[in-house]
Amino acid sequence: MRPYVNGSHGPSFVAQPAPGCTLDLAYSHSSPFAFVKLGNPCESCSIRYSSWVLIAILGLLAAACGGSRSGGVTPPPSAKEALYLSTGLSSGPILTYVFDTGTGTVGSPTPISGPTAGIDMKVFPGGNFLYVSDFDSGSVFAYSIDRSTGRLTTLAGSPFVFQGHTGNGGPIAIDPAGKFLFSSNAAGAIASFTINSQTGALTPATAPIVNDNNQPVYLLVDPTGKFLIASNQADSSGRNYSVFSINSTTGVLAEVPGSPFTFGQDTKPRQIVLNSGGSVLYAALSNSQQVNALNFDSTTGRITAIQGAPYPAQSLPTSIVLLPNGQFLYAGNSGAGSISLYSVDTSSGTLTPGNIIGANNPAFLDVDSAGQFLLDISGSSNTLSIYEIDSSTGRLTLLNNTNFPSGAGVRSASFLVPLQ
């Protein structure tokens, strides 16, 4: 599915001659020549089509000689997006990969020093900074991103610490305006940092630490920036999701009425995502082998059930990703070594399970900004698998596998960052 290519038999050209003019173009893969006949040309057509015919012939000759991996004309220079991984490598544990959306491949990784137990990674809105939560120290490492190359540079003052916020590090989240970074430790104490939008530096906010006593494993801020949502691991008796309102001036968090919200017991939700409108919350239920869909009220922060949800997945779904157009959702079943496809009713948010494909024990899933490719990042098999997405059906076709450096053991992954 590449631009300027139609099937595997070379490019297609479409012409609309002026009334009274005719144009015939014949081409065969067995011959290096294209034959053009321009009949009864008017003056304007003679000028216009002389250029068009030259372009057509050159393109067809290129296709006859080989062309792109899809069998057609090589597309123009493609967009590139940066992928950041936190690994267990002792030297340069933070890796930068540049993904080429034209070829569907990644280049060699660029390492930089950082935490060897980076449990979560989040990118600043706009893509200028990367933040990594360190499980061992409970601090947050910060980097600037070169928007042309994707290369990272450690920020002055990094890693950043919130005094009194002790214990192992946990999940982090950033509001859409880029004003606050919220950092939870492993026990559920959530601290608020303010972000300097020019330098990326973090400063402990005056907001007090709040507690989510249900062991949050993933944090997400809704598109309005009004609410922080946590998926909770310690939900043996429910309390799956905690929701906090965010003071837009101070970053103070306050748990909303009804929180924590319960939808089943011992489901152990992991990654959560919201649709683009912020009205439907999706969750990977790692213990109950399901994917849930829930209504989210962006005015009150209240979460309610959607009839028919949750939906079946396979063993240990830990990651989910929604296409930019909202039409398909994918769940990575790390226990089963598979990826489940769901079509999305964009009006109601309900899911319809589709096909399931074998995969390399997906720990993290991501899609490019155009929704053409899915990236499957496996920590246990130490592999990055890249799939092409059928825009009509959502089905995946494996393009290639890339092995990570030996012993990488990916701990966390960022969302792809489009480069300029």
* Domain range summary for the chain, segments of one domain joined by +: 1-75, 80-418
Which of helix, strand or coil describes residue 57? helix
Selection from 130, 92, 120, 122 nearest residue 108 by Cα:
92
What stretches of 201-279 adopt beta strand conformation (E)? Answer: 202-204, 210-211, 216-221, 227-232, 241-246, 253-255, 269-274
- Core vs surface per residue 117-135: b (16+ CB within 10 A) or e: bbbbbbbbbebbbbbbbbb
Q: What does R_g of the chain's alpha carbons equal in angstroms? A: 25
* pLDDT tens, residue order, the chain (420 aa): 333 222 333 333 333 444 444 444 443 333 333 334 444 444 444 433 444 333 333 343 333 333 333 333 334 456 999 999 999 999 999 999 999 999 999 999 999 999 999 999 999 999 999 999 999 999 999 999 999 999 999 999 999 999 889 999 999 999 999 999 999 999 999 999 999 999 999 999 999 999 999 999 999 999 999 999 999 998 788 999 999 999 999 999 999 999 999 999 999 999 999 999 999 999 999 999 999 999 999 999 999 999 999 999 999 999 999 999 999 999 999 999 999 999 999 999 999 999 999 999 999 999 999 999 999 999 889 999 999 999 999 999 999 999 999 999 999 999 999 999
- The position carrying tokens 């089905």 is 395
CB 339 within 8 A of CB 333: yes
- Domain formed by 80-418, architecture: 7 Propeller (2.130)
- Quote the CA–CA distance of 85 and 107 in Å, as a whole number: 14
- The position carrying tokens 């123009």 is 76
The Cα diameter of the chain in Å comes to: 85
Alpha carbon separation from 161 to 90, 132, 187, 202, 210 (Å, rounded): 22, 12, 16, 9, 16
What stretches of 225-289 adopt beta strand conformation (E)? Answer: 227-232, 241-246, 253-255, 269-274, 280-285
At 165, which amino acid appears?
A: H
